Amino acid sequence: DFEGNETSLFLTEMNRGKKYSTRSKLLFFRDVYDWIQNHISIITPDTPLIDLEYYYDDNSLKLINKLIKTFDTGISQVKIEEITLDELSNAMPKPVFDKMMQHVKNRMEEQEEPSFRMTMRSKETFFNIEVEGHSEPKVTTIRLHHNKSFYEFGFDEESDGTRRLFDLMDMLLNKREDVLYVVDELERSLHPKLTERFLQLFMQLHDEQRMQLLFTTHESSIMDQAIFRRDEIWFVERNAENASSIYSLDRFKERYDKVLSKAYLEGRYGAIPVFSTFDFARATSQMDVLAQTPGDCRDNAERISASREEE
């Protein structure tokens, strides 16, 4: 069945149109596939569409305001403001808006009397959509009030770091069990201490839950045994053939008082860039010669020869 099919994943094929009996030993393929589909949340730097139905719940909003203050962003309060669908479409790229509206339409068609709300965002826009029955969706966006300021700011007026926090807020608010978050470059646009604070809050808020965070980072300062166990820190190193290998810090058996970030930057664990020597002056001289055309070289040679004859 799999001969000649090199483009599909094995688990996908084992669940494509397959009907297993309740006693089949192959049922675990369906269970594994369903878990990967429904329990892994991948957050990339430009995730355009997210679904946080609880976001504008009053209790959730209070928690968001409490959390945002702990990050010292200068924001004292998060408020909501109603806008029209036309205003929303003007604030977003058309493909993203069309994708969002199709998502809303699909949700409405799934229910006879639709009633739901969801939070979505583009790179510079954060908004909420509420649907009650078959009437036009209600759209709201967030406004941010800063300490001692007379004005409120839109999401697009905030820094990349502040907007990044709202990307990650779902991981702090989510109460679902058995979830794996995968985040590329967790520290992107964040101060190192803010990244550290986020990780501490994540562990604190989900201490009793089955929830895991897997992330990549170049921020060595958060490599701290007060935050992570040794077996939770892994390195990725590229070899001479450009293949990557992955290995755990636990193999080094470091003491618990070891300053890991310092040892890492000194090269003790590998997985750091290795630079070759480069003589800028010599390279510039060589480039000057290479930049000359054959004609330039002949002209220069003739001028030098004539100058020597005059001498």
Digit-by-digit pLDDT tens for the chain (311 residues) are 566 667 778 888 777 777 777 788 878 888 888 888 889 988 875 555 455 655 666 777 888 888 888 888 888 888 888 889 898 888 888 888 888 888 888 888 888 888 888 777 766 778 888 888 888 888 988 889 998 888 888 888 888 888 888 878 878 888 788 999 999 899 988 899 999 999 999 999 898 889 999 999 999 999 999 999 999 999 999 888 889 999 999 999 888 889 999 999 989 999 888 777 777 777 666 666 656 555 555 555 555 455 555 54
Question: Strands 40-43, 179-183: parallel, antiparallel or unpaired by DSSP?
Answer: parallel
> What is the reported pLDDT for 286?
65
Q: What whole-number distance in Å separates Cα of residue 113 and Cα of residue 130? A: 13
* Distance, CA of 282 to chain centre: 41
Query: 88-114 in b/e burial notation, b at 16+ Cβ within 10 A?
Result: bbebbeeebbeebeeebeeebeeeeeb
DSSP state of 54: T
Tokens of 128: 């909420």
Q: What whole-number distance in Å separates Cα of residue 250 and Cα of residue 196? A: 21
Nearest Cα neighbor of 120 from 110, 112, 130 is: 130
Residues 6 or more apart whose CB falls under 8 angstroms from that of 196 comprise 221, 222, 224, 227
Q: What whole-number distance in Å separates Cα of residue 268 and Cα of residue 249? A: 10
* Distance, CA of 296 to chain centre: 52
Contact 211, 179 (CB under 8 A): yes
Tokens of 40: 């892994």
> What is the reported pLDDT for 208?
86
